[in-house]
Amino acid sequence: MKINKTGFTLLGILFLFSVWEAASILIGAFIIPPPWVTITDTVSILANPSFRIEIARTLCRVFFGFSAAFVLGILTGLFAGLFRNAEYFLRPVVTFFQGIPPILWAIPLILVLGIGGLSPVIVIALICYPLIVLNIIEGVKSEPAGLREMLSVFAPGTKARIKENLLPHLRPFITAALKIGIILGVKASVVAEYFGANDGIGFQVQAAYSAFKVRTLFAWAFFLIVFILFTDRLLQQADGFLIYLKRRYTIHRKKLYCAQKDIGKLKDIFIKHDKAESIAIRDLSFSYKADGGHDASVLHNVDITVPEGQIAVISGDSGVGKTTLLNLIAGFLTTETGTITVPKPIGIVFQDDRLLPWKTVIDNTVIPLYYSGFGKKESFCFARYLLKETGLEDNEFKYPDELSGGMKKRAGLARCFARIPNAILLDEPFTGLHSEARKLLWKKLYEMLSLRDVPVIVVTHYPGDVPSVRKCRFYALEGRPAVLKKL
């Protein structure tokens, strides 16, 4: 018979209680009370109103102490994570404080503040604070650079970065800090109350220890273990419930009706009437700092002009500098010599999609519109229009992990045009798709460009995939360092 996860969990619990029972028999029930006795004593504690008050006092201290540490820890962690010098300054200080055991905080605070009062609350905050700070710093440092670059194009500014990318990315780090911090807070509270309070669980443990009431000690220890396990499970369920609520909100949004007038204004802006500027690159050279400190030249005297309505297709071998050139045009890299003139704003279709995984297709598409200053409903309705144009009308409320490769490319295309760009950059835009899918997406791109006639630069390994039309010009990057040649 195959045993499932629950079965193995029950076997583990049975094994634990069996070892406990055996130890009680071998050593003596007076020193190690048997499991059933401890469980009975724990139930008796919970049934006693005065003991329930003691538990409530401890939990209140944990709540206030941990809440203070949680808020201050997240703010400090964000600050240190976003500013490297602040991290260099704070990390050794916070790491030092993390190594201090609760008892070394409790004794000085008792001497200063006396028994009871704020002493246990401050101990809890001081013990939990370093853990939260270091956890958030690591979360900020692991922020996906690709998504950060994407937002610098479609939603520039620190506010958008924090709201749309950083905080959602930090969610698992915050959840982990919440779980571990509460457990640590409960333990710290018991230690602090043991030495510095005249009530609470720690005080009850101290009283039982002084009177050598072993059964009471085991009952309180068992209660704390069960409480910690229950809290961990409760937080998991709460996290799942929040995800459920988010899905319900998404379903509710499907009912939003978009009248033609809601998209009329943006559609009129989207269909460009005035003449666009050209993308102009003059004498551009660029080098990377290679291992050993010397410069590795990548691009040399690149010179190209892409006027309104023209599509420049740039090909070349892997590593020749195609993506580097695109990153320079987008502003992700700083030019060394030469000049780049690009009409703003720009739209980009990335090789790796760079859709925010915690947002639906339509929410990814709305971002450029919303952060350009348009109203929420107006942005939402125009995003629907763009998704309809790119063939995603029936998939707008799906998440990126629910999409096929072709659908993700279409979503990236819709987001690009949602920026209402005056220049468009495409980095291997439809790589990884089969031939027929690539043809359909190139056709859709050309249809969208017929409405928004702006200069376009495409970099690709396979220029033959790009349908040759009157507006296309083909170039190649060749050599080391690479120079741009017209084909």
Per-residue DSSP letters for 141-188?
HTS-HHHHHHHHHHS-SHHHIIIIIIHHHHHHHHHHHHHHHHHHHHHH
Contacts of 275 by beta carbon, 8 Å cutoff, 6+ apart: 308
Question: Can you give the pLDDT at residue 292?
Answer: 59
Question: Can you give the pLDDT at residue 268?
Answer: 75
Confidence of residue 87 (pLDDT cuts 50, 70, 90): very high
**Residue type (1 letter), 269:** I
Choose between 318 and 79: higher pLDDT: 79
Cis amide prior to 481 (ω within 30 degrees):
yes
Strands 456-460, 423-427: pairing is: parallel
Phi and psi of 310, rounded to 5°? -95, 150
> For 19-132, where are the E strands, in sequence order?
none
Phi and psi of 344, rounded to 5°? -100, 155
Q: Quick check: 187 pLDDT over 90?
A: no
| Residue-wise pLDDT tens digits, 59-69 | 999 999 999 99
Question: Can you give the pLDDT at residue 116?
Answer: 66
Question: Can you give the pLDDT at residue 291?
Answer: 64
| Residue-wise pLDDT tens digits, 32-78 | 999 999 999 999 988 999 888 989 999 999 999 999 999 999 999 99
Choose between 374 and 133: higher pLDDT: 133
Question: Can you give the pLDDT at residue 380?
Answer: 86
Locate all alpha helices (DSSP H) within 255-304, ordered by sequence.
Answer: 260-270
Q: Quick check: 225 pLDDT over 70?
A: yes
Comparing 273-282, 298-307, 377-386, 391-400, the range with the smallest average pLDDT is: 273-282
Confidence of residue 253 (pLDDT cuts 50, 70, 90): low
Comparing 28-42, 199-213, 218-232, 264-278, the range with the smallest average pLDDT is: 264-278
Question: Can you give the pLDDT at residue 134?
Answer: 93
Confidence of residue 249 (pLDDT cuts 50, 70, 90): low
**Which 3-state string (H, E, C) describes 448-479?**
HHHHCCCCEEEEECCHHHCCCCCCEEEEEEEC
Q: Quick check: 205 pLDDT over 60?
A: yes
Q: Quick check: 471 pLDDT over 60?
A: yes
Q: Quick check: 165 pLDDT over 80?
A: yes
Q: Quick check: 359 pLDDT over 80?
A: yes
Question: Can you give the pLDDT at residue 413?
Answer: 92
Confidence of residue 260 (pLDDT cuts 50, 70, 90): low
DSSP per residue over 437-449, as a string? Answer: HHHHHHHHHHHHH
Q: Quick check: 232 pLDDT over 90?
A: no
**Residue type (1 letter), 172:** P
Residues 262 and 251: their CA atoms lie apart, in Å, by: 21
Question: Can you give the pLDDT at residue 5?
Answer: 74
Query: What percent of the chain lies above the pLDDT cut of 90?
Result: 34
Residue 132: both structure tokens together = 């939260």
439, 258 in Cβ contact below 8 A?
no
**DSSP class of residue 275?**
P
Residues 312 and 305: their CA atoms lie apart, in Å, by: 9
Question: Quick check: helix, strand or coil at residue 349?
Answer: strand
For residues 81-97, average pLDDT: 91
Strands 279-289, 295-306: pairing is: antiparallel
Angle between helices 361-370 and 376-389 in degrees, nearest 10: 120
Residue 330: both structure tokens together = 């987008």
| Residue-wise pLDDT tens digits, 404-451 | 888 899 999 999 999 989 999 999 888 877 888 888 888 888 888 888
Question: Can you give the pLDDT at residue 418?
Answer: 92
Q: Quick check: 274 pLDDT over 70?
A: no
Residues 386 and 412: their CA atoms lie apart, in Å, by: 11
Confidence of residue 336 (pLDDT cuts 50, 70, 90): confident
Question: Can you give the pLDDT at residue 218?
Answer: 92
Question: Quick check: helix, strand or coil at residue 117?
Answer: coil
Q: Quick check: 168 pLDDT over 80?
A: yes
Question: Can you give the pLDDT at residue 396?
Answer: 87
Q: What is the mean pLDDT of the chain?
A: 86
Phi and psi of 193, rounded to 5°? -70, -30
100, 157 in Cβ contact below 8 A?
no
How many CB atoms neighbour CB 404 within 10 A?
A: 11
Question: Can you give the pLDDT at residue 250?
Answer: 59
Strands 295-306, 346-349: pairing is: unpaired
Contacts of 174 by beta carbon, 8 Å cutoff, 6+ apart: 74, 135, 136, 139
Sign of CA dihedral 458, 469, 340, 293: positive
Residue 482: both structure tokens together = 């690479």
Question: Can you give the pLDDT at residue 251?
Answer: 52
Rounded (5°) CA angle 189-193-198: 145
How many CB atoms neighbour CB 138 within 10 A?
A: 13
Q: Quick check: 90 pLDDT over 80?
A: yes
From the list 430, 305, 447, the residue with the least C-alpha distance to 389 is 447
